[in-house]
Amino acid sequence: MTHQNGCVKGHSNPLRLYATNRVLYPMRQTGERGSDNWEQVSWDEALSLVAEKFQAAIDEYGPESIGVWIGGGNSGGYITGAGTSATYGANSQPRVLTAGIAQERFVQTVGCTILTMSFDVAQLFFQFSVLQAPFNSIEDFQNSKTILLWGANPTDAQRAHWPFICKAKENGARLITIDPQYTNAAAHSDTWVPIRVGSDAAMALAMCNYIIDNDLVDYDYMRNKSVGPLLIKEDGRYLRLSDLGMDLEEGSAGSDGEPTHLDSIAVYDEKTQTFGSSRTVADPALTGSFDADGTSVRTVYDLVLENLMPFTVEWAAEECGVPAAQIEEIAQVYATNKPALLSNNWGIEHTWNSWRVYLAFPLLASLTGNFGVPGSGYSSGFSSAASKLTKAPITNDWSDRTIADAKTNKVITGEYLYEIMETGTWAGEDFTIRCLYTLASNPLHSSLGATYLREAISKVDFVVVADPFMTDTAKWADLVLPVALSWESEDFIGTYMMQKAVEPAGECQTDFEIFKGIAEHMGYDDLYTKSAEEYLRAILDTPENIEAGVAYDDYKEKGIIFGEFEYAESVLPEFNPTGRTQFYLEEFEPRDDYGQEVRPIDRIPYYEHAYEAYQSNPLRERYPLFGLSYHDNYHAQGMFTHNPLLDEFRGYEGKPYMRIHEDAAAERGIRTGDAVRVFNDHGSCTLTAVVTKGIQAETVLMPHGWQEDEFIEGHPQQLTAMCLDPITSNDNFNDWLCQVEKA
């Protein structure tokens, strides 16, 4: 099977070098923010202005008043990389240093507040950081007999997955797509389920109930490979060997070579009618309540069953807009036509309640034994990472990323800027942002609650945007700094060298050069003591890398170093501390800790409706339609806008369009090609309508990734509420209702 599955966006990249909206020189806004009146200034003028404004804010409000909003756009490298937002802690959690040399050395020196990314972190944070879910390789997909594409669109978004899904279909697999829109993948599926936006967890829990009620449970998996039989006390904590006065178990050797000792979680051995370790007792009790030396305990499975009872198939049919018979059929197929794969990704995770889907999926997989064997799995969003085709560095020397006497940085999800500027507080303390510096990010275009975020930014004293393009956010800045694209600079990311191909256009500089210039104008002359190349050499040129032929000069010459192709033939074992598939969490902290409570009900599979997008919301009397955004082959992120090649393919006659179901269109007298206004209490957007059968009947599909100047009026993100959920602080930009009328 081939791995050469490039997309048209990649082929269009050279045109980005010469884009009409490219910023070539430092530009200062001469009128009001958003007026689009600019004058060119020199780099010295620009950097002096930044240093002056930053220092004034530090003197009056402290270094935390400088907010650095780091995104994931023109970024990713060891020198200028934005890092992985989901690994950042906030307040009570230590900050994990994952950003590049340029940003880390600057923010540690100044003490800035880091405003981090919110997009896609319901999955990134909850599924991978909290649940620590493993994933299978895409090559393993061909071993599946049933594949549920749930919030995944592999024909357009995860294109490397599609050939192996097609191979599974050739082998006779049943392909089911659960998605409000009729995607290209849905067109090739055996079944399309047009589910309501934001109700995915409801359907998953109803499937669990059906599987239990119809005795389709894989009891061996539940007892021996899931957390189902683990015993919990009334306070929600696990019963451990030490609670019973039992000896700790010997674990693997620690870093000092001495064996570690494990205070393992206890289970109840029905054969001996005694308590024992979950690591050694075979076939423990899956249900029951017990007295553990005076402490009342019960199994996780019993707790989950008790809280699962309300979420019946009939209830879910009403909540999801999916016939009860279809939910039952899919549950039956998933439980019996095995191995079955839950191929899920970011399509399900942009509503206030979406993080709960990622706790429901491991329960669904455990009940059916669909994990740990070829062709199964419940977290395939990053499955390609389980394959190995290229050689990565063996070690990296990150000593230059940390500076001596580093200041502590607050880390806050960026959209909370609205709350901060409204209240002047954060986490119960006085707090403000007076200067905002954004890089590799376009929050007014791609972030949640753009109407409210623009209001917040208007209250910030000084706004700087460092970007290769004149983006929606750049237009609302006081100063725009032109950034070099990856082909105009050198950096390293993961397993390959980003090689410099051409000189930077105009007066564009790299993020490294810009941070270095700001630092020097602020008086930090010795902050960057090496060139970008020297820093990169220091990271890559470890003895291990040099010996293995994966050091700086090796990548400089070859770009990518290929090795022998390898992939895991089945899903990986669970590597969380329990060693079992988790659908109960003893404890975890929310991504942004501002004093909110993690409730007991948040630790188990459960359903709560979305913030706005739920079928019984009284707001639907005025705004009856659900909003949903989409990506496709020809547009996605805003960095691909104003691109002549893509503009030939995307949109309706080259313009962004909204898809609306034919029934909803008929009620409103709308035909394909009409200009329509989509509106709610948050904002409005005017664009062209396309009438279709390929959308859930109450849903309108809005494009994601177009800039505001490409619409007749407004922008889809201006329709979104400011609804960061309290657990993951996810970018919930699909959690809104609207009305549509002819413009």
CA distance 736 to 626: 6
Side chain identity at 555, as an amino acid letter? Answer: Y
Residue 83 has pLDDT above 60, yes or no: no
User: What is the Cα gyration radius of the chain?
Assistant: 26
User: pLDDT value at position 254?
Assistant: 57
CA distance 335 to 327: 12
Task: Please indicate whether the domains covering 21-117+412-558 and 618-742 agree at the CATH topology level.
Answer: no
Among 42-46, 80-84, 227-231, 669-673, the range scoring the smallest mean pLDDT is 80-84
CA distance 436 to 50: 10
- Torsion 707-712-713-714 (CA) sign: negative
3-state secondary structure 432-454: CCCEEEEECCCHHHHCCCHHHHH
Beta bridge mates, 686 = 677, 713
User: pLDDT value at position 87?
Assistant: 39
CA distance 334 to 266: 31
Cβ neighbour number for residue 290 with a 10 Å cutoff: 17
User: pLDDT value at position 678?
Assistant: 98
Domain boundaries, the chain: 21-117+412-558, 230-285, 618-742
Residue 633 has pLDDT above 80, yes or no: no
Mean pLDDT of the chain: 91
- Torsion 296-299-301-304 (CA) sign: positive
DSSP 540-588: H--HHHHHHT-SHHHHHHHSB-EEEEEE-SSPPPP-STTSSB-S--S--
Tokens of 487: 């082909």
Residue 205 has pLDDT above 80, yes or no: yes
Full-model pTM: 0.94
CA distance 250 to 40: 68
Tokens of 188: 């090739």
CA distance 453 to 444: 7
CA distance 301 to 298: 8
Confidence of residue 94 (pLDDT cuts 50, 70, 90): very low
Q: Are strands 737-742 and 699-703 parallel, antiparallel or unpaired?
A: unpaired
Reply yes or no on domain 21-117+412-558 having CATH 3.40.50.1240. no
pLDDT in tens, 374-406: 999 998 666 555 567 889 999 999 999 989 999
pLDDT in tens, 475-511: 999 999 999 998 999 999 888 899 999 999 999 999 9
CA distance 251 to 77: 37
CA distance 360 to 367: 11
The CATH number fitting domain 618-742, selected from 3.40.50.10490, 3.20.20.70, 2.40.40.20, 2.40.30.10:
2.40.40.20
